[in-house]
Structure 1
Amino acid sequence: MSLKNLNPRFSLLLLFILAGGMLRILGEGQVTPYSNVTPIGAMALFAGAYFNSSWKSYVFPLLTLFISDVIVQQVFYPEFAQGQLLYQGWAWTYLGFAAMVLAGQLIIKKVNIGNIVIAAAVAAVAHWLITDFGVWLGGCTDPSTGQLYTKDANGLLRCYAMAVPYMKYMFIGNVVYGAIFFGGFELIGSRIYEVRSMK
């Protein structure tokens, strides 16, 4: 395929997704002071809202998340890698990420502030419920007690309660980076017809 045949809209979408992956890596590397406020949720919502092919909505952001995860794990947290590419319980994280893409597909039919904020909240809650269920199921330790979460309703609720601050950071990241991603794309689309119109 020649450069002339490249779809400008699709290329710009990919550029935004890749930027999300880079920002995530820079945050984990403490290049930015906001490592807990990540762009991955906004990246998922953005992909769900804009990619016209359902499989592209999932494949490209998931692939970007995977590459950034491998870099973060191997470069910044090798002590947790234990010879593996990814961290323990990664499948639950990816399931939560896919749920955020779905939130973008279902809620952001029309790009406006209200829909983005609602989707950001739904995505943060979905990610929290799914990933921390995986944390509880995987037999992780309660950081406040040093003991394993008990395998009952109390243990699950305790696990969820301990993760509430991270859900808050996820929501903030969804809103802040969502404003950048959606606002930037809409601004470019308003100026470049090919970005606005092409599928």
Structure 2
Amino acid sequence: MNTSETGRVNTRNAMLILIIVSTALLRILNVGKFGDWANFTPIGATALFAGTYFRNRWAAYFTPLLTLFISDIIVNYGYYGKITLFYEGIVYVYIAFALMVFVGSLIKKVTTLRVFGATIASVLIHWIVTNFGVWISGQIYPLNAQGFTDCYIKAIPFEKNLLLGNLAYGIILYGGFEWAKKHFPLLAVPHELSISKPNYK
């Protein structure tokens, strides 16, 4: 990689980090309020976004997961009034978000259909993985078939909100960055410069 390409990648990475951090700040706007829109946040969309656009795999996983960790601390402080670094089920939550990054990395060319499919897949992953963690802990639901079923069914409203959040913020993130690449070629990595403009149909 020559100096020009290195500068291009560094500029792109800096912009991606800025976008992810700035977008994640929206998560803390309603700290302390559960409400009907709990889980309607940009954090899932940022995981997909990072997986798609970071060429460096370490950055793709580290950036959204660190952002999630920091915002978790702020959100938990808003709810419980104390600093909480780790909480029950955190391992399952972070596994789910790491898998979301992986799903995002499978998008090699951005189209509306591919982003929509990745959004659906990411929500299903979150639903399956995180709620398994809730159920297996045995603290809320009994460790039997009925408890397992209840755990997953009662989580559906929260996953619906996650889906809506991923779709809304996904449109902003993917659409915005594709627009930016078109108007500011410095944000495109070399192989993307040879790809015709994205098909959003």
Alpha-carbon spacing, 1:112–1:83, altered in 2? closer, same or farther (3 Å): closer
| Corresponding residue number in structure 2 for 1:180 | 172
Provide the TM-score with structure 1 as the length reference: 0.84
Query: Which aligned pairs between 1:96-115 and structure 2 lie closer than 5 A?
Result: 96-106=96-106, 108-115=107-114
Query: Which aligned pairs between 1:66-77 and structure 2 lie closer than 5 A?
Result: 66-74=69-77, 76-77=78-79
SS at match of 1:77: helix
Residue 17 of structure 1 deviates from its aligned partner by: 1.0
Structure 2's unaligned 5+ residue stretches are: 1-6, 192-201
Assess if the C-alpha contact under 8 Å between 1:45 and 1:103 holds in 2.
yes
| Corresponding residue number in structure 2 for 1:78 | 80
| Corresponding residue number in structure 1 for 2:194 | none
Structure 1's unaligned 5+ residue stretches are: 142-148
Alpha-carbon spacing, 1:83–1:195, altered in 2? closer, same or farther (3 Å): closer
Distance 1:83 1:46 in 2: 28
| Corresponding residue number in structure 1 for 2:159 | 167
Residue 111 of structure 1 deviates from its aligned partner by: 0.6
| Corresponding residue number in structure 1 for 2:45 | 42
| Corresponding residue number in structure 2 for 1:144 | none
Provide the TM-score with structure 2 as the length reference: 0.84
SS at match of 1:7: helix
Alpha-carbon spacing, 1:155–1:188, altered in 2? closer, same or farther (3 Å): same
State the Cα RMSD in Å: 2.1
Distance 1:8 1:104 in 2: 21
Q: How many residues are aligned here?
A: 183
| Corresponding residue number in structure 2 for 1:133 | 132
Report the AA paired with residue 134 of structure 1: G
Which of residues 41, 47, 59 is equivalent to 1:56?
A: 59
Q: Deviations over 1:79-118 (max 9, x none)?
A: 5xx7642322111111111111111112x22111100110
Return 171-180 or 35-44, whichever deviates more.
35-44
Q: Deviations over 1:152-180 (max 9, x none)?
A: 22211110011011111111111110000
Assess if the C-alpha contact under 8 Å between 2:39 and 2:158 holds in 1.
yes
| Corresponding residue number in structure 2 for 1:118 | 117
| Corresponding residue number in structure 2 for 1:19 | 22
Assess if the C-alpha contact under 8 Å between 1:7 and 1:198 holds in 2.
no
Assess if the C-alpha contact under 8 Å between 1:9 and 1:198 holds in 2.
no
Q: Deviations over 1:104-153 (max 9, x none)?
A: 112x2211110011000000000010000000111232xxxxxxx12122
Report the AA paired with residue 90 of structure 1: I
Distance 1:52 1:189 in 2: 15
Residue 196 of structure 1 deviates from its aligned partner by: 1.6
Distance 2:158 2:172 in 1: 21
| Corresponding residue number in structure 2 for 1:145 | none
Report the AA paired with residue 74 of structure 2: I
